[in-house]
Each structure stands twice: as structure tokens, then as C-alpha cells.
Amino acid sequence: MVVGKGKSFLKWLSRWKTEHEAMLDDFKYSLHLLRRSPLSMVGLILISAFVLIAILAPLLTKYDPIEQDLPSRLQPPCWDNPFGRDQLGRDILSRVIYGSRISLRIGITVIAISATTGTVLGVVAGYLGGIIEEIVMRITDMFLAFPSLILAMAISAALGRSLENTVIAIGIVSWPRYARLARGLTLSVKEEQFVEAVRSLGASRKRIIFSHILPQCLPTIIIQATLSMGGIILTAAGLGFIGFGAEPPLPEWGVMISDGRNFIMREWWVSTFPGIAMLFNVLGFNLLGDGLRDVLDPRLRR
């Protein structure tokens, strides 16, 4: 019976492949172009490195990122502590390593929340049109008119300082962009012939939206998501600087840089190493996103 199920699955898979042959070819071509873009490759390598570091964190360091050791506070980099110790004696290397987990967590959670909400809202608004579209778009405009850092600050101040609240604040700030993007894409896809065809065949609205329009929007949404990862991490850092953001003693990079800014003139290592880590992490996402944009831009494809 298992074999039977397996066979029918394979059959389904090959049928799916032929149905979506064009899309798969497109996808393969995109990958090919991506591999030829050195910047994207560098970005991909950087991101993979950080993801690996995040996953392997406990194996990479023997120090607990939260454990204090006051007598050794502000110790400069040495063999035992390659990144030195901070103002409470905590090992900075391990805090940077565990910090990558936090940054990735923030980024992924925010994107998961905002991208899904925003895209769905945008596609629905774009497809249904009329008064629904107007209302959704006006609300989107309202949120977009806010400078994002200030809105995030206000929400964080309202909810209190914690990692969860930071994610919520940045999520609320980010969803409008996806909504607007998705709606624009929906408007252009809506008029295309294949949609007409499917509609005349009697497909339900829900099916049209989710099986046909949404997949068309995916590439752009993915690019937007990758590009915004960097901004999300920087916004979280900015919040940490002002006094919101992740709560101590969590080793979030932005908070670490901010905490170290009173030591920047002598004990430079407290701010510098998390700063460099953040720089490369965000740069990685930006490089990949930039490369992806080139690759997937229909105007620039050969």
C-alpha cells in the first residue's frame, strides 16, 4: 500500500512538473543567472554563514552569553576571549554568536507576519477592487505615511520593552509595503489572458486568487522580503539604541552596540564586534536581495 501511495505521488509530481514546466524553466534560469552574479553569491555565502553560526551556536563557544563575571569586566581581547568581555564580564564572542540567533529570529518572524498579512490583504484588495480596495489602500497609505522608526518607537513605548513587542512593532510597520506591492502586481496580473481563461471556465474567486494570482506575485514578494531583512535588523538595532528593542540580558547586536557606546573610546571591542557582525549580516541580505532583483527583473533578463 505504501508503494502504491508512493507511486501515485510520483505520478502526481511528474504531472505537476509538466503543468508548471514554464515556471520551472524560468526558475532554473533564474538560479543560473544568480550563480553568475558574484555579488549575490557573496551575499548568499554571508547569509549561510550566519545561519550556520546561529544553528551551531552551542558548539562554537563554551561561554554562556548571559553569565556575568564582574572581576573580569571590560577585559580586552585575548586568547580565551577573542572578542574580549563586556561591562558585566560576559564573553562578547559568545554573545555575538548567540546574537545571530536573535537577529534571525526577529527577521524571520517579522517577515512571516508582515509578508503574509500584507500580501494576502493586497491581493484580495487588488482583485476584489471597489470599496474594499479603496479602504485597504487608504489604511496602507496611512501606515506608510509614518516614518517607520518613529511608529516602531511609539508602539514599543506603548507595549513595553521586550523581544516579542519589538517583533510586533516592526511587523506593524512593515506590512503596508507588501500590501501595496501585492495589490499593484494583482492589478496587472488580473488583466492577463490566462486569468480570463480560468475565470471563464468558472473557477471560484478564492481559487483564482490563491492558485493563480498569488504565485505570480511570489518572486517580487520574495525579493522584497530579502531586501527588507536588512532593514528589519537595523530597525531593531535602532530601537535598542534608543532604549526599546530586545530586553537585556538578551545578546541582541543593536543593544550590544548601544550599551558599548560609552566605552567606545577605550574599550572599543564592546561595540565594534557586534557592529561588524551586524554589518556583514545585513550586507549579506542586501547583496543577495540586490542580485535577486537584477536576476528577476523582467526588463533585464536576456
Instruction: Using CB under 8 A, list all residues that contact other proteins.
Output: 37-39, 67-68, 70-71, 73-74, 87-88, 138-139, 141-143, 145-150, 153-155, 157-158, 160-161, 230-231, 234, 237-238, 241-243, 247-249, 254, 257-259, 261-267, 271, 275, 278-279, 282-283, 286-287, 290, 297, 299-300
Q: Which DSSP category does 252 fall into?
A: -
- In terms of Cα–Cα distance, which of 221, 258, 218 is closest to 238? 258
Nearer to other proteins, 110 or 214 (CB): 110
Pick between residue 174 and residue 258 the one whose CB is nearest to other proteins: 258
Tell me the closest approach of the beta carbon of residue 47 to other proteins, in angstroms: 13
Residue type (1 letter), 296: L
Residue 262 beta carbon to other proteins: minimum distance, rounded to whole angstroms = 5
Name the residue nearer to other proteins (CB basis): 141 or 164: 141
List of long-range contacts for 276-281, beta carbons under 8 Å, 24+ apart: 277/96, 277/99, 277/100, 277/253, 278/103, 278/233, 278/234, 278/237, 278/253, 278/254, 280/46, 280/50, 281/46, 281/47, 281/50, 281/100, 281/103, 281/230, 281/233, 281/253
When the beta carbons of 112 and 279 are compared against other proteins, the nearer one is: 279
Q: How far is the CB of 146 from other proteins (least distance, A)?
A: 6
Distance CA 100, CA 116 (A): 24
- Strand, coil or helix: 44: helix
CB 225, min distance to other proteins, A: 16
Query: Least separation, in Å, of the C-beta of 149 and other proteins?
Result: 5
Q: Backbone dihedral region of 89: left (phi > 0), alpha (psi from -120 to 50 degrees) or beta?
A: left
- Our measurement of the distance from residue 246's CA atom to the centroid of its chain's CA atoms, rounded to an integer in Å, reads 17
Q: Which residue from 269, 265, 274 is spatially nearest to 74, judged by alpha carbons?
A: 269
Least distance in angstroms from the C-beta of 1 to other proteins: 53
The residue (of 155 and 225) whose beta carbon lies closer to other proteins is 155
Shortest reach from residue 96's CB to other proteins, in Å: 14
Measure Cα distances from 52 to 106, 127, 254 in Å: 16, 40, 20
Closer Cβ to other proteins, 83 or 209, answer by number: 83
Residue 172 CB neighbour total at 10 angstroms: 19
Rounded to 5°, angle at Cα 71 from 271 and 103: 30
- Cβ(260)–Cβ(86) below 8 Å: yes
Could you tell me the smallest distance in angstroms from the CB atom of residue 259 to other proteins?
Answer: 6
Q: In what helix (H) or strand (E) does residue 137 lie, and over which residues does it extend?
A: helix 130-145
Contact 274, 256 (CB under 8 A): yes
Q: Measured from the CB atom, is 51 or 88 closer to other proteins?
A: 88
Q: Which is nearer to other proteins, 133 or 267 (CB)?
A: 267
